[in-house]
Amino acid sequence: MRQLVVMLGIGSTMLLTACGDRDFDKAEVERAMKGVNVIDETNLNDIMLTVADPNEAVAYFRRASKQDPDRLDFKRGLAKSLVRAGRATEAAAVWKKIVAEDESTGDDRVDYADALIRTGDWETAEAELDRIPPTFETYKRYRLEAMVADSNREWKRADSFYETAAGLTTKPSGVLNNWGYSKLTRGDFDDAERLFVEAITYDDTLFTAKNNLALARGAQRNYDLPVVPMSQIERAQLLHTLGLSAVKQGDVAIGKGLLREAIDTHPQHFEAAVRSLRALEVNVTN
C-alpha cells in the first residue's frame, strides 16, 4: 500500500515537471493537478474497498470523511468498509446518515437495509426496503426482499423475490443456495435439492450448497453422497453431515457407519467426526 502511494506521488511530481517545462501558468497547473488527484484518489478508494485490509480501509475512509465531511463517497466507503470488517452496527449508523442526504440513492438505502439485516433488525430493514420505489430493480434489492419475506414466513413472496433476484445476476449460486435453504426449512426437500444442485452448477466450489444438499437428502433418509464435484476433504465432511442426519432420523447403525467412513476418508485427523462417533458410542453403551 505504501508503494502505491509513493508511485502516485511520483506520478504527480512528473506532471508538475512537465507543466513547468511547457510554461503553464499557476492556474493551469492547479487544474491539471486536481484532475490527477481525483483519478489517483478514485483508484485508491477502489483498492481500499476491495483488496485492502478491512480495518485499514475503515481507518482510511474515516480519516478522509473527517477531512472532507461533504464527500458522500467517503461516507459510503466508510460504511462498506465497516461491513467488510464485520462491524455491521457501526455501518448501519453511517448508512442512516447517508440515506438522510438529498444526494442519496436507491443503492444507498439497499445497503442500509443490508447492514440492518446483519444486525438482526429485520423490521427496520423491511421498512427501508419499502421506501425504495418499485421501479428500482437490482439483484441485491430483490435478494434482501426475499430474505425479509423468508423471515416473515411469506413463502410466496419469498419465492417470487428469489426467482427475480436469480434472473438479475450472472452469478446466482448464492441466491439459489439461500432459496434452497428456505425450501429446506419448509420441508420442501425435492425443490431444495433441485436448487442446491443448480447453485453448484454455477459454482462447484460452493461447499455450503453441497452440505445443504446432503442435509436435504439426509432428511429424506437418502444417505448416498450427492453426485457433485468434491475434494477428498469435502467428501469426508459430507459423509459426516449424512452420518449426523442418519442419527437424527433414528438410523443409528447407518449413522455410525457413515461417521467411520468420514474418519477413514479424511486425509488428516477428522476431530469433529471422531467426537461425534465417540459421543454416539457412549450414549448407545449407556
DSSP state of 226: P
End-to-end CA distance of the chain: 60
Q: Please report whether residue 144 resides in a domain.
A: yes
Q: Over range 225-245, report the average pLDDT.
A: 96
- Could you tell me which of 198, 127, 164 has the C-alpha nearest to residue 156? 164
φ/ψ (deg, to 5) at 13: -65, -40
In whole angstroms, what separates CA 203 from the centre of its chain?
A: 14
Cell numbers placing 21:
517545462
- 274: pLDDT strictly greater than 80: yes
| Angle 197-198-199 from CA coordinates, rounded to 5° | 90
Supply the pLDDT for residue 49.
87
Q: What is the pLDDT of residues 98-109, one digit of tens each?
A: 999 999 999 999
pLDDT at 12 over 50: no
172: domain CATH number is 1.25.40.10
Total domains present in the chain: 1
Cα four-point dihedral sign 36, 41, 44, 50:
negative
Please say if the pLDDT value at position 11 is more than 50. no
Specify the pLDDT at position 50. Answer: 85
Tell me what pLDDT residue 5 has. 41
Residue 283, sorted as left (phi over 0), alpha (psi -120 to 50) or beta, turns out to be alpha
Percent of the chain with pLDDT over 70: 84
Show the CA angle centred on residue 132, arms to residues 126 and 135, nearest 5°. Answer: 130
- Reported as a single tens digit per residue, the pLDDT across 243-254 is 999 999 999 999
Flag whether 147 is in a domain. yes
Separation of alpha carbons 76 and 73, rounded Å = 5
Which residues neighbour 114 within 8 Å (Cβ) at sequence distance 6 or greater?
83, 125, 140, 144
Q: Are 87 and 58 in contact (CB under 8 A)?
A: yes
Q: What is the rounded distance in angstroms from the CA atom of residue 60 to the CA atom of residue 11? A: 21
CB-count burial class (<10 Å; 0-12, 13-18, 19+) for 207: middle
Q: Please give the pLDDT value at position 109.
A: 98
pLDDT attached to residue 27: 55
Q: Is residue 142 part of a domain?
A: yes
pLDDT digits (tens, 9 = 90+) for 154-180: 999 999 999 999 999 999 999 999 999
User: Quick check: is 250 in a domain?
Assistant: no
The answer to the question of residue 116 being in a domain is no
Label residues 68-102 b or e (16+ Cβ within 10 Å = b): eeeebebbbbbbbbbbbbebbebbbebbeebbeee
Counts for the chain of helices (H) and strands (E), in that order: 15, 0
Q: How far apart are CA 217 and CA 219, in angstroms?
A: 5
- Mean pLDDT score, 66-74: 93
Statement: residue 51 has pLDDT above 80:
no
29 is a domain residue: no
Decide if pLDDT at 97 tops 50. Answer: yes
Note whether residue 176 is domain-resident. Answer: yes
* Cα distances (angstroms) measured from residue 105 to each of 73, 134, 146: 12, 14, 21
Q: 179: how many CB neighbours lie within 10 A of its CB?
A: 27
Over residues 129-149, the pLDDT tens digits come to 999 999 999 999 999 999 999
pLDDT band of 282, cuts 50, 70, 90: confident
Is residue 10 pLDDT above 60, yes or no? no
Mean pLDDT of the chain: 88
Q: What percent of the chain has pLDDT over 90?
A: 79
Does residue 36 register a pLDDT over 50? no
pLDDT at 268: 94
Task: Give the range of the structural domain holding residue 181, as residue numbers without chain letter.
Answer: 137-202
Which amino acid is it at 71?
R
pLDDT of 267 higher than 80? yes
For residue 34, pLDDT beyond 90: no
- pLDDT class of 28 with cuts at 50, 70, 90: low
Q: Is there a domain that residue 180 lies in?
A: yes
pLDDT at 255: 96
Residue 80 backbone phi and psi in degrees, to 5 = -65, -40
pTM above 0.85, yes or no: no
Q: Which of 266, 261, 170 is nearest to 277 (CA)?
A: 261
